[in-house]
Amino acid sequence: MKAPKILLLLLLSLQVIAYTVIADSQTCPATNIDSCSDGWEGEFFPGIPQIKYEGPSSKNPLAFKYYNAEEEVLGKKMKDWFRFSVAFWHTFRGTGGDPFGAPTKSWPWEDGTNSLKIAKRRMRANFEFINKLGVDYWCFHDRDIAPDGKTLEEANANLDEVVALAKELQGNKKVLWGTAQLFMHPRYMHGGATSSELGVYAYAAAQVKKAMEVTHYLAGENYVFWGGREGYQSLLNTDMERELNHLARFLESAVAYKKKIGFNGTLLIEPKPQEPTKHQYDWDAATTANFLRKYGLIDEFKLNIECNHATLSGHSCHHELETARINGLLGNIDANTGDPQVGWDTDQFLIDIAEATNIMLTVIRNGGIAPGGFNFDAKLRRESTDVEDLFIGHIVGMDTMARGLRNAAKLIEDGSLDELVRKRYQSFDSEIGSLVEAGKADFEFLEKKVKEWGEPKVASAKQELAEMIFQYAL
């Protein structure tokens, strides 16, 4: 009787060992990074399931409580209202480093280098993450997905190699937008398109040309210009007019090249007021719109509004979105936020339900945001170092925006807030008001009306009532 038992125990032990070996071969552990070869097809996020909708009562941190991709709101599926996108740079290149401290994150698939091998490994991790999160889009900077080179030719070859893998892995996923990183390399210390050096301007043009080509190759739906250093530190040594003219010529060339290669995506400009420069030329939505009109580019570009940049410029995200919308320029949204007690771009996941509701009121009024979407230009806090945290950050961001959509739909369907606004301006619905809005009431005509009417009566704006209606919807 003992022999069969010993044999059985031996078989069970061998089975456990076999399962352990299989499990190890299907993960990318920090202790055995060589198991993740270029052709490796195991899991980068073992133990993380497909993220599903479980409803508001769920206590599962790895489940959606409010974002239900297929649920229809105001005649459109949630996933189509948002078109959520994972931002490669923060999700896979974020290190937790800040101006005061060294990096705190080292994901299991990293080896401390920025080699092509690791770049490809990151790309595989990217698509596993996107698939498990259940989003349809991703976005990138060229230098985030592939290492730079000693020459432009080497950098382009590196990018081609990684992009070829991305094309292979992409399947039914899509690129929301691509862009060129024209701010990190020392050559861009004075900017790219606004650099005082012709050679730098030319290098920036060549880099954008290549970034546009690979975005087109990956069937990207938009291309973004973020002028990280397109601005100045001091006007004492800056010819601002000349730099603005150069920036306009640069963007004109981008428009021409877009048409030449048959790229049908939208060109987007992302406003930001400062940091790292003292003053950046695309300070906010209104400044950027004025720039585009001045140089005859208003029909060629839309805006990518980042909520954290809005607050740095002294505006709310809602203000920037409305400014873009009423100018016909709302193209995409970087869904993030900043800490109101910190004076720089902290790029946190947006979790403010009221702000999300205001954002979605604008998006609904805009009729949606396609071919743009919502990309999470947001990073984990320095102290959050588990791969699980990458999922949790995106889940809470997506759930927050879903709550904002539901609340905005509730406000629109109720109609009380719209009615309050309508009543506030109802005097302009009169015959005389219509003449004013049509540009047919000159000063002499209006002076006669004032003499006829006497002192005007000014109604209450009912701000507290508006805030009450809004708060009750939350």
What are the catalytic residues? 141
Assign 190 to helix, strand or coil.
coil
The radius of gyration of the chain from alpha carbons, rounded to an integer in Å, stands at 26
Residues 6+ apart with CB under 8 A from 312: 272, 273, 274, 275, 338, 344, 345
Q: Are 137 and 373 in contact (CB under 8 A)?
A: yes
3-state secondary structure of 295: coil
With H, G, I as helix, E, B as strand and everything else as coil, classify residue 301: strand
The DSSP annotation for 321-335 comes to HHHHHHTT-EEEEE-
- The torsion angle over the Cα atoms of residues 120, 167, 179 and 117, rounded to 10 degrees, is 10
- Positions of E strands within 153-273: 174-179, 222-225, 231-232, 266-269
Rounded to whole angstroms, the Cα distance separating 325 from 152 reads 38
User: Which amino acid would we find at residue 313?
Assistant: S
Between the alpha carbon of residue 312 and those of residues 216, 281, 291, 307, the distances in Å are 32, 14, 20, 9
> By C-alpha distance, which of 278, 282, 249 is closest to 268?
282
Q: Which amino acid is at 87?
A: A
Those residues with Cβ within 8 angstroms of residue 266's Cβ, 6 or more apart along the chain or in another chain: 221, 222, 223, 301, 302, 331, 371, 372
Tokens 């150069």 sit at which residue? 246
Helix, strand or coil for residue 93? Answer: helix
Task: Compute, in degrees rounded to 10, the torsion defined by CA atoms 378, 379, 383, 389.
Answer: 90
Cα–Cα distance, 470 to 327 (Å, whole number): 25
Rounded to whole angstroms, how far apart are CA atoms 94 and 96? 6
For residues 338 and 312, is the Cβ–Cβ distance under 8 A?
A: yes
- Whole-number Å distance between alpha carbons of 324 and 29: 46
Amino acid identity, position 217: Y
CB-neighbour burial class of residue 40 (10 A; exposed 0-12, middle 13-18, buried 19+): middle
* HSE (side-chain half, CA atoms, 13 Å) at 223: 26
Q: Scanning the structure block, which residue is given the tokens 């073992």?
A: 46
64 beta partners: 53
